[in-house]
Amino acid sequence: MNIHEYQAKELFRKFGVAVPEGFVAANGAEAEAAATKLGTPVVVVKAQVHAGGRGKAGGVKVVKSPAAAREAADALIGKNLVTFQTDAKGQPVNKVYVESGVDIARELYLAITLDRGQGRLVLMASTEGGMEIEEVAHSHPEKIFRETIDPALGLMPYQAQNIAFALGLKGDEIKNAIKFMMNLAKAYTDLDCAMIEINPLVITGQGGVMALDGKVSFDDNALFRHKDIAELNDTTQSDSREVEAAKYDLNYVGLEGEIGCMVNGAGLAMATMDVIKFAGSEPANFLDVGGGADEEKVTAALKIILGDPQVKGVLINIFGGIMKCDIIANGIVAACKTVNLSVPMVVRLEGTNVELGNDILAKSGLPIITANSLADGAAKIVAAIK
């Protein structure tokens, strides 16, 4: 789960991670009031969307008066912001963050994430703040510094000091940076984050160290023990099909194609997408209903697939292992009776009680096309929509 910059900064404050002063605003009047309250000669009005690259896309506006802050907020709120990290439609801007303008001496990069290779957290820093880290990793790998965090010890002060030295910090900056990194590492573990990225981390003209941006994502598997964090979820920033799927614990990813897929098992779901492409079409989604999918889940999944105007046909590819094929077939038939089956549907069942399952589908009176292999199923659904 991702959160907005303003929410990340509120969490940072609680952990003693320095950030500029700022207030969130939902309209021009609130933005003007926020800028007045800040009282700084320069304020920055920042679109709150779940995407980076806002600065280059016009989503970060530097202004010099509360009236100008109102104007900037009015121009951003209610529109979609398209950045290089969004799709062509962009992300809706419902709020802006109004923040004090900071006197920036240097822009750096700092992140904590999980290094899956080592199975440990890693603190990463770079002198190239403001740039995409992937680009730095590609063109100047020597400019990225890393410290691996021992899970039993946590980040050690000497490791934070190593990073501060590598970044070329001096005097008070070192002390401030160490405190910043130690507190950030505590926030990461206490909140069960998946990633914290601060780009840029800035050194101010007075030697202060501050997070000017904050991208935080959480480990979904740990959200059950952070109810307050789970509440920060802003569903307007996600694909509406994915929001609906999440309610039923379905592993769903919306895609651009025309064949809606319902499959059990992530590997089988990926293979199904490949075979659809091979047969000359494109999948509208990835969907793994899981091993123990029951009628309720199958119905919910079908409703999401059929409610998608992009979908011109449905391919169901289920392996009956834990769940027997006759139970799956009954689930599909029951689900089709509650949703309006408005497009062709091909079902391929395999596994325990497959004959019984196909029999149930054949006798259901529904216009379901059965298939006896994955390739057969893909060919049949592609033919049916043409």
Q: In Å, what is the CA distance from 317 to each residue of 121, 186, 361?
A: 38, 45, 14
54 binds, among ligand ADP, Mg ion, none (CB under 5 to 8 A by kind): ligand ADP
The distance of closest approach from Cβ of residue 68 to ligand ADP in the complex, given in angstroms and rounded to an integer, is 15
Positions of E strands within the chain: 22-25, 43-47, 60-63, 80-81, 91-92, 96-100, 104-115, 120-126, 144-149, 193-204, 209-211, 215-218, 251-254, 259-263, 285-288, 313-320, 345-351, 368-371
CA distances from 170 to 126, 177, 232 (A): 16, 10, 37
Q: Is 200 in the site for ligand ADP (CB under 6 A)?
A: yes
197 counts as catalytic = yes
The residue written with tokens 């409703």 in the block is 303
**Candidate residues 83, 199, 237, 285; the one interacting with Mg ion per rule CB under 5 A:** 199
State yes or no: is 295 an active-site residue.
no
- Which two tokens mark 377? 């199923």
For residue 207, state whether it binds ligand ADP (rule: CB under 6 A).
Answer: no
How does DSSP assign 72-134, residue by residue? Answer: HHHHHTTSEE--TTS-SS-EE---EEEEE---EEEEEEEEEEEETTTTEEEEEEES-TTS-HH
Binding-site string for Mg ion from residue 253 to residue 292, where x marks contact by CB under 5 A and - marks none: ----------------------------------------
Residue 213 engages Mg ion in binding (rule: CB under 5 A): yes
| 61 is a site residue for ligand ADP (CB under 6 A) | no
Interface with ligand ADP includes 212 (CB under 6 A)? yes
Q: Which two tokens stand for residue 67?
A: 């009236």
Our finding on whether 55 is near ligand ADP (CB under 6 A) is yes
Structure tokens at 356: 């019984």
Residue 119 C-beta: closest distance to ligand ADP, Å:
29
Q: Which residues have C-beta within 8 Å of that of residue 304, sequence separation ≥ 6? A: 241, 244, 245, 250, 252, 287
**Residue 90 binds to ligand ADP (criterion: CB under 6 A):** no
Q: In the complex, what is the shortest distance from the CB of residue 200 to ligand ADP, in angstroms, rounded to a whole number?
A: 5
44 binds ligand ADP (CB under 6 A): yes
Site size with ligand ADP, rule: CB under 6 A = 18
CB closer to ligand ADP, 91 vs 281: 91
Q: What is the DSSP string of 322-344?
A: SS-HHHHHHHHHHHHHHS---S-
CB nearer ligand ADP, residue 207 or residue 254: 207
If one asks whether residue 101 binds ligand ADP (CB under 6 A), the answer comes out as yes
Choose between 20 and 283: whose C-beta lies nearer to ligand ADP: 20
Nearest to 249 by CA among 298, 306, 215, 213: 298
Rounded CA-CA distance 246/243 in Å is 5
Question: Does residue 110 touch ligand ADP according to CB under 6 A?
Answer: no
Asked if 99 touches ligand ADP (CB under 6 A), the answer is yes
* Active-site residue, selected from the candidate residues 30, 32, 197, 350: 197
Residue 241's contacts (CB-CB under 8 Å, 6 or more residues apart) are 252, 254, 285, 304, 307, 308
Q: Which stretch binds ligand ADP (CB under 6 A): 101-109, 144-152, 341-349, 364-372?
A: 101-109
Pick from ligand ADP, Mg ion, none: which does 242 bind, CB < 5 to 8 A by kind?
A: none
Of 15, 40, 53, 226, the residue at the interface with ligand ADP (CB under 6 A) is: 53
Determine which one of 97, 109, 248, 252 is catalytic.
109
260 touches ligand ADP (CB under 6 A): no
Which range in 30-38, 49-57, 186-194, 325-333 contacts ligand ADP by CB under 6 A? 49-57
Q: Could you say which of 32, 197, 213, 288 contacts ligand ADP (CB under 6 A)?
A: 213
Report the SS3 class of residue 229: helix
307 binds ligand ADP (CB under 6 A): no
Q: CA–CA separation, 70 vs 88, rounded Å?
A: 27
For residue 355, give Cα distances in angstroms to 174, 264, 342, 359, 372: 71, 19, 26, 6, 11
Binding site for Mg ion (CB under 5 A): 199, 213
What are the catalytic residues? 109, 197
Binding interface with ligand ADP (CB under 6 A): 20, 44, 46, 52-55, 60, 99, 101-102, 104, 107, 130, 199-200, 212-213
